[in-house]
Amino acid sequence: MRALFLIVMSISLTFAMKLAHPKPSEKLYIGKYLVVATLSPDARYEIDAFVDGRVLFLPKPFMKVAKGQKIVQLDSPSVLEIHGRYVEALLQLRYFKREIQRIKPLVKERIVAKRELLHLQNQAKLYLAKSGYFKQLLSSYGVTPKTLKPLSKVSILSPIDGVVERIGVSLGDFVKKGDPILSIVDPNKVLLQIDLPLKIANTLDKTLTIGNIEAKIVAISPVVDAKTQTLRILAKASLGLKPNESRQFPLYLKKRIYKLPKSALVEGKIVVKKGEEFLPRDVKVLGEDERWIYVDAKGLNPQDQVVVEGAMRLIGEDDD
């Protein structure tokens, strides 16, 4: 008989029954999904030749490099020419400085005209400026001239801690300024790619829990996959995945819910003990996994006692 929705029973039940409190949770389990690690757009650094030259040194593919480590060395005729002009200006500067020191006493004794001293001083200023300019130009190529010996080798240093991904030249090749040489990637700049059903993706806010790690959602594709009816999301979190590595993870949404053992649910209802009464209650199941059901928090509280074993018998007697 279905007339009564209240079930009044004696404490001395003739069958085994187990009660439990609903477990409050801030996470709603939505299932296991494939998480694919992909490089973020700013993870790749392209290394180009900043001067023409012959390639003398290259790293090995997939080699780990540290920030500031030499990754390329070039033998550059342009740098050799600039260094030659620097040396020439430096030698001229030294010559005119010596001449100034030699002429000064002669000017004082009026043996040499003062205008000759002024000419020497002007020339010294000219070559001081030239040597400074060429020194600064060499410095922009990473060359610090410490001797007058010819210098033509320049090095390119890694801008980051990373891994050499692609090498587009070989040892001995001659490259021109602006030519691509290699690329380095930062393996720590990884985004997580997940394809979620449309109805789940549309409920996402700013975060998503992957396993036990809270991930920040950085983008949701506006394009629905016609075959799978999924949307691709990109999230950011430290899961230890390397680029192009993938793994199944349980996913959770941030939502106030209650967890109950799956055995508590019978025909869409749970049974709550109130004093000596057992009250069937309809619940909205939001999700489930192998052990638990996740139900809407409305109408429940942590102090409630829910029948988690024997509910089938109670619902069955209510149906009689």
pLDDT tens digits for range 98-134: 999 998 888 888 877 888 889 999 999 999 999 999 9
What's the domain count of the chain? 3
Cβ atoms of 63 and 142 within 8 Å: the answer is no
**Same structural domain, 236 and 308:** yes
pLDDT tens digits for range 55-95: 999 999 989 999 999 999 999 999 999 999 999 999 999 99
CATH of the domain at 89: 1.10.287
For 230, the domain range is 7-39+190-319
**Same structural domain, 204 and 281:** yes
Polymer length of the chain = 320
CATH of the domain at 162: 2.40.50.100
Structure tokens at 2: 């279905």
Question: Is 1 part of a structural domain of the chain?
Answer: no
Question: Is 244 part of a structural domain of the chain?
Answer: yes
List, in sequence order, every beta strand (DSSP E) within 97-161.
Answer: 153-157
If residue 82 lies in a helix (H) or strand (E), which one and from where to where? Answer: helix 77-108
Cβ atoms of 25 and 209 within 8 Å: the answer is no
If residue 317 lies in a helix (H) or strand (E), which one and from where to where? Answer: helix 311-319
**Same structural domain, 83 and 168:** no
**Same structural domain, 207 and 278:** yes
Structure tokens at 150: 């010819």
d(CA 92, CA 100): 12
**Same structural domain, 213 and 278:** yes
Structure tokens at 177: 């300024």
Q: What is the CA radius of gyration of the chain?
A: 39
**Same structural domain, 172 and 52:** yes
How high is the pLDDT of residue 268? 83
Low-confidence ranges of the chain (pLDDT < 50): 1-15
Single-letter residue type at 176: K
Q: Residue 44 in 3-state DSSP?
A: strand
Buried b (16+ CB within 10 A) or exposed e, 204-220: beeebbbeeeebebeee
**Same structural domain, 30 and 102:** no
If residue 54 lies in a helix (H) or strand (E), which one and from where to where? Answer: strand 53-57
**Same structural domain, 72 and 83:** no
How high is the pLDDT of residue 2? 42
How do strand 180-185 and strand 44-48 relate by DSSP bridges? antiparallel
Q: DSSP character for 310?
A: S
**Region of residue 43 (phi > 0: left; psi between -120 and 50: alpha; otherwise: beta):** alpha
